[in-house]
Amino acid sequence: MAEVRFQRIGLVLHPQRPHAWGLAEAVAEYLQRIGREPILLPAETLDRVEIVAGWDLAITFGGDGLVLRVARYAAPAGVPILGINLGRVGFLTEIQPEEWLEQLSRVWEGDYWVERRLMLEACWIREDQRQGPFYALNDVVIGRMGLGRIVRVRVEIDGRYFTTYIGDGLIVATPTGSTAYALAAGGPILPPELKNIVLVPIAPHLSLDRAVVLDEGVRLTLTVHTEGKAALTIDGAGDEPIAEGDRVEIAAAPFSARFIRLRDRSYFYRLLATRLRRMVADE
């Protein structure tokens, strides 16, 4: 008997994307016909790891932002992700909506490879009260809120003082996040399967103004010093107000985000070149 690949499949959709519901329902009907068990749910109902525990695969119907949200819960549960692109950029998604039937058939036949991407684990500490852990596929950002005073972020690497960034904030990014906010702030572009962590200052003022690439095994402690308002943002979500003396501890998570890939292994460079050409054309 042939192996049955991915029996219980979560279908997570972005409720505000046009055609997401209809496409997800069509895929669910197809999965039922071939003997799979689809679980259909809107993205806003996915808020804890236990929901995806027991899934064999998560299929997303949206853009890269939805993939970031799903990875937060699927990665700790060891559930691989396959994205159907209903967004614009599609750095993380894999399938175009018009080709879903053909491409899913390839998955069932085993014609795919698994890409593993570094995740970050962050804890927020205030007066010895610890919150977290929180998980990020792109980045953890400490930044000022609105117009106001600069933020000072003291950085320790493995318990030793490294530097203090002064400016609008600091981005701690994964290789996945190196093509997101970190790139806009002047950081380097890293291939997605590297295991490095990148520090990228935001609008630095009289402080280190270059990005720094760190080994995956480091542990960071960021201490915030500000007379204004600052916020902690994880993968673009949260904007949690942080105060003078708050600390954020960051390290590589003990698991990776896993993605089902159907393109060849050099796809990232072609996609990156396309995006960079588009950026130049838009200038």
Q: Is the pLDDT of residue 2 over 50?
A: no
145 and 245 part of one domain: yes
List, for residues 187-236, the tens digit of each pLDDT value: 999 999 999 999 999 999 888 899 999 998 999 999 999 877 899 999 99
Q: Is residue 102 part of a domain?
A: yes
- Domain containing 82 equals 8-112+262-282
Q: How far apart, in whole angstroms, are the C-alpha atoms of residue 65 and residue 263?
A: 21
- How many domains is the chain partitioned into structurally? 2
Full-model pTM: 0.92
Same domain, residue pair 249 and 128: yes
Instruction: Tell me what pLDDT residue 173 has.
Output: 98
Average the pLDDT over 45-57 and give the result.
Answer: 94
- Given this model, what pLDDT does residue 283 score? 54
Same domain? 99 vs 180: no
Letter string b/e over residues 204-234, b meaning 16 or more CB atoms within 10 A of that residue's CB: beeebeebbbbeeeeebbbbbebeeebbbbb
Residue 199 lies in a domain: yes
Of the candidate ranges 12-26, 112-126, 159-173, the one whose mean pLDDT is the lowest = 12-26
Asked if pLDDT for residue 181 goes beyond 70, the answer is: yes
130 with 245, same domain? Answer: yes
The CATH number of the domain holding residue 140 is 2.60.200.30
Evaluate whether residue 2 is within a structural domain: no
1, part of any domain: no
Task: Give the pLDDT of residue 81.
Answer: 98
Q: Quickly tell me which residue has 């949206």 as its tokens.
A: 62
Enumerate the active-site residues.
64
- 3, part of any domain: no
Domain at 36, CATH number = 3.40.50.10330
